[in-house]
Structure 1
């Protein structure tokens, strides 16, 4: 099993462990709640049975059988007393019995006639006192001379039970925090691993990319030195052009890496001035023509913007134009066919660089501006680059408060559009 599969297995095992531990924690918490609820219900049941016995004794009834307390809801307990009640006895016995059994939760008391056809008395007992007028209650109870039952309801039962489980709650929160921290570490480890792989790939790419222009410059220099005095002027110019072009290419590649590093540190300082986009783009196209012609391709400029002036950093603007043309050339496997256009839009200028190359799959278009990202085309080095060009383009455009977008279809080419506001 290779390291990649081992890492995936570890991550899957970690995720399963986290889910399992969370499930166990939920089960333990639910079990603890059920136990405390049962304890509460048993305590209430015992208290109400004792209360019923005290009431019957207070009324001088020693022969009636104490009937079971019936739970009519999860928080309601009905006492089938079938006896004429004295309010004073009920009030006194309720408080004493609940205190004796450790029940201090707020409750509602409802007194019914035997057939439960009407409520004789209903009130709320909270913090040691009833919320209804005691005198009125005494009067209504005194008037009632029929057998009665009563029901006790605890409106905050669930809250009280949960409130009594602070140890479980604190331990559960601590456990969840530890699991969340563990999950974060697993995710961070995966990100670090991916970043390490990206950096390794980047170093491989940069080594390969820098070797190519250095080798070409070295070969051309050797030819010029060895053939000094014997080469005709045309060949000498040809080799000199090779050195010039490869030197520019090498400078551009090094500049990409340096600029990406500066952006990462937030140390890029733009020197803005009024720039004629048409003139700048025309100069970039002229410098690029030889490279395209060497591949028997076409590079056309349709610079139709009537208001071509923007307030920008000329150096960085030149670099992003060159970077986009470089991509258009690299991702055109046959003869490059590139068109550059400039047109005016409301309050700004739109620059479009379109090619007829391999295009970009729709599902990866959202990633192409990410640092080090390179769309897979099979062989790592079949298309040269570091995965920094489009990142640099996006950051420069955004630093100028502009917008960059792409439209592309596989095998139908790509079109990158840049928008800047006019001066």
Structure 2
């Protein structure tokens, strides 16, 4: 895929995902704000309802006092009666029904001294509703009649209370607030109203007079602009008041959050799944691109490494056809050795690829036996000693381990150490200087192969055991190899339940450390 098109697709996918996250965040934020506004509306309705109940309760208290008082007094002279009378005649039954609906209004003028207010008297209107129905039955012969009278009386309390409203408000305004309402009453009304709205939230309250706190308040009340609501209390006829009821809801945010928590969590979970899936897909895409690039480099390197020995073999074969070479035993042996070496080199390349392939398919059967690691190391050194000498380098052993018996496959462990030594040689720009150390640590033997070569960065150290990986230095052919050696090393050591790790610094060489289990 074209790099620009690939980058464009990744950018569009990323922007789309960010858009989804933004929309989800906006939805959650908007839902929270909507629920918060709805809660504020409900709370204000609750406070208005509570204030109204308190005012009605106070009105009824005053009304009951004066209502009981007038019941003990004589009927006043200034009473008025309004009455509506109508009749109905049923000829079939010879029955006449007369209905009467009357309103008796009695005005009382009562002393207010016992209320401790600056009023000489209180006007109270008692209103009684009297309803009567009279049935008159005429005799069959028209000679007589019988009467049946039903009569009922009832006080019109609501109307009386409305007539008394102005009077009681004058009376109550003279009383201190703690005599008009108690904190227990406010708490009870608030609790009941909140339960009706299914709001489970703690609250604190206080009654303020002209901006100043009164004694009527809960113990933990602290005004907070974000969680405190205010409603006028004891409003007079001119819609004015000197008192305000303030109620604070410290758990308001928790209540709102609980309202949207379920959908918000689901939304976040689904968004998280999308993000993780996208991240995993993106990781796989980049990994596949990297593998594709590495494989391309591998093919290029393999082509180069096969091309050179093939060309060398062809030149050697052409040289062998020369009559002068045929008769010169020294040249003949030299060219034959060259062909053999180049053929061995190609064979080694193929073997490495086949080994990795078998390891990937778990087809490589490693027969393990008791071996001495020191012997394996010395055998591996013998394989590369000529190359080291040819470059005027050295390989020195420092065997500090007293025990070196392990359970392993001698052939493959030899290949492992040869690979590590070969890397140390290839990545030494000058003459290779290699030191091999061993030591016993508890029930293990530790093998260290240290070189003074080019070294590597921290980022490279994390990837060197990956298949096909090679450090890029501007020229993929500047160091021979195809990135399979260390991958093979890691797989063989894993099969031996052994560990390998590297310590390196750019320009100061590398140290590969192997840790294998000893056997008694």
Range into which the TM-score falls when normalised by the shorter chain: 0.7 to 0.9
Distance change in 2, residues 1:309/1:227 (3 Å): farther
Secondary structure in structure 2 of the residue aligned to 1:60: helix
Are the equivalent residues in 2 in contact too, given 1:278–1:303 (CA < 8 A)? Answer: no
Q: Which digits, 9 at most, give the CA deviation of each residue in 1:123-155, with x for residues without a partner?
A: xxxxxxxxxxxxxxxxxxxxxxxx998765656
Question: Structure 2 residue aligned with 1:408, among 494, 504, 510?
Answer: 504
Q: Which digits, 9 at most, give the CA deviation of each residue in 1:288-310, with x for residues without a partner?
A: 233344x4433434364554432
Are the equivalent residues in 1 in contact too, given 2:207–2:246 (CA < 8 A)? Answer: no
Distance change in 2, residues 1:184/1:405 (3 Å): closer
Shift of 1:275: 1.8
Kindly indicate which of the two structures has a greater share of residues assigned to strand: 2
Q: Which digits, 9 at most, give the CA deviation of each residue in 1:377-397, with x for residues without a partner?
A: 221111111112112222323
Secondary structure in structure 1 of the residue aligned to 2:365: coil
Distance change in 2, residues 1:82/1:25 (3 Å): farther
Q: Does structure 1 residue 234 correspond to structure 2 residue 319?
A: no
In 1, Cα distance between the equivalents of 2:25 and 2:502? Answer: 48
Are the equivalent residues in 2 in contact too, given 1:22–1:176 (CA < 8 A)? Answer: no
Distance change in 2, residues 1:353/1:219 (3 Å): farther
In 2, Cα distance between the equivalents of 1:81 and 1:45? Answer: 23
The aligned residue for residue 128 of structure 1 is none
The aligned residue for residue 382 of structure 2 is 286
Moved more, 190-199 or 299-308: 299-308
The aligned residue for residue 26 of structure 2 is 27
Shift of 1:39: 0.9
Are the equivalent residues in 1 in contact too, given 2:183–2:217 (CA < 8 A)? Answer: no
Shift of 1:339: 2.9
The aligned residue for residue 243 of structure 1 is 339
For 1:48-197, what aligned pairs fall within 5 Å after superposition? 48-60=47-59, 62=165, 83-85=180-182, 91=188, 95=192, 99=196, 103-108=197-202, 115-117=213-215, 157-165=252-260, 166-167=262-263, 170-171=266-267, 173-197=269-293
Question: Structure 1 residue aligned with 2:366, among 238, 251, 270?
Answer: 270
Distance change in 2, residues 1:233/1:93 (3 Å): closer
In 2, Cα distance between the equivalents of 1:252 and 1:237? Answer: 22
When normalised by structure 1's length, the TM-score is 0.74
Distance change in 2, residues 1:161/1:266 (3 Å): farther
Are the equivalent residues in 2 in contact too, given 1:51–1:94 (CA < 8 A)? Answer: no
The aligned residue for residue 131 of structure 1 is none
Q: Which runs of 5+ in 2 are unaligned?
A: 61-164, 171-176, 221-241
In 2, Cα distance between the equivalents of 1:321 and 1:16? Answer: 49
Shift of 1:57: 1.5
Q: Does structure 1 residue 201 correspond to structure 2 residue 200?
A: no
Shift of 1:330: 1.9
Q: Which digits, 9 at most, give the CA deviation of each residue in 1:156-198, with x for residues without a partner?
A: 5444433433456544543443344334333332222222222
Shift of 1:323: 1.0
In 1, Cα distance between the equivalents of 2:265 and 2:444? Answer: 59
- Considering only CA atoms, is the larger Rg found in Structure 1 or Structure 2? 2
Q: Does structure 1 residue 213 correspond to structure 2 residue 309?
A: yes
The aligned residue for residue 440 of structure 2 is 345
Are the equivalent residues in 1 in contact too, given 2:470–2:483 (CA < 8 A)? Answer: yes
Kindly indicate which of the two structures has a greater share of residues assigned to helix: 1
Question: Structure 2 residue aligned with 1:393, among 472, 483, 489?
Answer: 489
